[in-house]
Structure 1
Amino acid sequence: MTIRGVIAASDPHTAVAGARMLRRGGNAVDAIVAAKLTAAVTELPLTSLAGGGACVWGSAEKGYQVLDFFAAIPGRGLTTRPALDFAPVAVDFGQTTQIFHIGRGAAAVPGELVGLLELHRRAGRLPLRSVVAPAASWARDGFIVSPQIARIAALILPIAGWSASVSRLFFVDGRFLRAGDRLCNPELGEFLHELGEGDAHTVTAAYWSALVQHFGPAQGGLITARDVETYAPVVREPLDIRFGCYRVLSNPPPSAGGGLIGAGLRIAEGLGLGKEPFLSLAHLRAVAALLATVSDVRQAGYDERLHADPDSIRDLVAGDEILAWMAPARILREDPLGATTHISVIDAEGLAATMTTSNGEGCGYALPGFGIHVNNFLGEDDINPAGFHQAAPGTWMSTMMSPTLLIRAAQPCLALGS
């Protein structure tokens, strides 16, 4: 059997969708877009078409790029701030309780849908109809909920049950979903079908219009017509980090994660990490010191530099400045909700694509008629370091999501994400 490529994903449905594209002659971009569309159906606690993300992709022949389709701060054109639908909600993790903020006023301008379409337009090979088909089928006909997705969904039950519009996405026969249930999303299935079979521009325009109607100022949100008219994914040069014989290509500013990975790798070199036996006490202490140092760097004005002085982040990961920050080992607070979802693909022709996406925890409301849970990025502490609703409308939001490629001898040898 001819090997067409390899794909790694967080859910079997997601991986199968991408593998189908490779088997049909598609490339890594076809595979990753099909997989991500499917994840919006089958990994619904983690990602949605009203979220955001980034993709690092390319080859030795074509070079490497980042397509940044994360969220933007809404509110362009508003002269006064409306009364916001914005509320705290407690999520119980057993040993701890964490507060998140949700509501229509927590929704940022999402980039995921248009980002996927733009990536496919730039580098996909198969027709959009073929790429959308697996996701549309699973949304319309249903998919079997995995134990992992059931567990993650249960953690955000207070959010998933917040409104009637979003409860329909998570409930089966009047009860909350369980592992082994067949879950359908007919509205999302119809939207995806129209996206693949019709005019993508017209279908996307209807999506944007619905966001303004249902998440705009009249409904307690901030998304305006001007926001959606001006939003577009951004092509960026990857953050290029040298580490031994590898080039590590990751998400650049204004995103936060790539620079922190670069800082961590620079610290690892300074510590000589890897010389001690793996998981020995000395190794664990070194890793703890590395993580503590990276955490300290972020607390010392790192986020402000992402927008004000992005070149300084590239300098940080290339020079010795970071070594002066070395901190003693300490235990850091663990995020009980964990991270998000990620997909990596490398095809047989040497094209690689790696993509990380999220919708936060979701804002507790779905887009009516579309079956899409909208993000709550404006209500997440870690990507609003100056406080909620403080950034100017139009500001590109920062994210810790860090899709990453490792390049050796000009060829992609590893695709991963953090």
Structure 2
Amino acid sequence: MHILIITHYFPPLNEIASIRLFCFAKYWEQNGVRVSVLTTKKSAPADLSYQKDISPSIAIYELEYRRKFRFLNIASEKKTSPLSSVELRPKTSWRALLKRVGRHIYYGLGLSQIEHHNWVKVAAEKGIQISQEENITHIFSSFGPSQSHVIASRIISKISNTAIWVADYRDLWSQNHIYSTKGIFNLIEKAIERKVLRRAKLITTVSEPLRIALLNLHSDKQVMTIYNGFDPADFPSTITQARAKKRQTPIKIAYLGRIYPGFRDPSPLFQAIRELELADKLESGSLLIQFYGKFMGNLEALIAKYNVTQWVEVVGQVDYSESLRIQRDCDWLLFLESSRREAAGVLPGKLFEYIMSRTPILGIGIDPSTSAGELIIESNTGLALGNNIATIKNALLTSVLSSNHTYSLNENFMRKYSRKVQAEELLAVLKKIGH
């Protein structure tokens, strides 16, 4: 058995998506499977701090490429300030309108695939060569970006009688609540997705709601859930064991990740803090929210809008090991996700890191009816408050500032979401599945 993984996200790229693919490769190899990885060449200015000891028996093929049609990337370019990487709003409404129209065309017509055509072309050619010379039995491609699936589709069209293709979705493609297009453009995007996936034997994704969404679009496919989770190797026993934490002054809430304006949005929390301050229920210096990450969207504008400068600190990007330390040592962890119905099944890998840190989680935008909210409640590791300002204010006063929250993470939960267990369960399926 020889599995070829196709992914943009892989060490040393410090992105949460890299962990899922690295763990599949690591644990499949430890179970006696030959593994090869086809990925992009990683270089600065990307954060390359996710350094891992990769078994020498795992063949890594990194292919360098240039964006052949960079001018088409108008929809995804972000104008940022050099110091904070916080997105600056367009100064005129016509620019905002042009950007929205460009985004619909860019994704809806599949122009992102044209822009990355050079990567698709060289990676598909290399993948075909590897498959034929190294007797690849399974191809495992992971979305996003969509190019991973496009490459796998091209490879499998040439070697369809010798390999099985499994298409993994960490997020949805044409049904994505942040990036998908609308109207006729979305119909085109869905048609492209169905065409690309027509030769896939199995589809995997990270939550049950996403599985149902994919099954509705790809009704002729088998779709199964392989959750995100945590890698036991990343969490020493001192972290995974219950421990008492000393109350800090100020109480520190940490957010690690990206801000997506209108989606992963701290506005309800900021409004709650501002209202408590105006009501003299929040003492100066009692609370500090720290944001860690490179892409902070419109965070600075929101800080100014709600006048919460004294309560918020934008720190910037940190490496992977430092992010784990921050998660462990702060008082609360802030988790943000859209409250839109389409986002109910989103279950990012970062949430599992939060849970394993054994630091209480403050969930904003999500409630117990969402996959993320349900997971927080199931694990007994925090609060899923939605967007209700009164509820958030009450939680700040009765739980966050008073440190009045206890939890006990059980072994059954930890086993269910172990990336080692998940990799082995998926491997068992791959061994059984036929052409």
Query: Which range, TM-score by smaller chain?
Result: under 0.3
Provide TM-score, normalisation by structure 1.
0.26
**More strand per residue: 1 or 2?**
1
Provide TM-score, normalisation by structure 2.
0.25
Between Structure 1 and Structure 2, whose CA radius of gyration is higher?
2
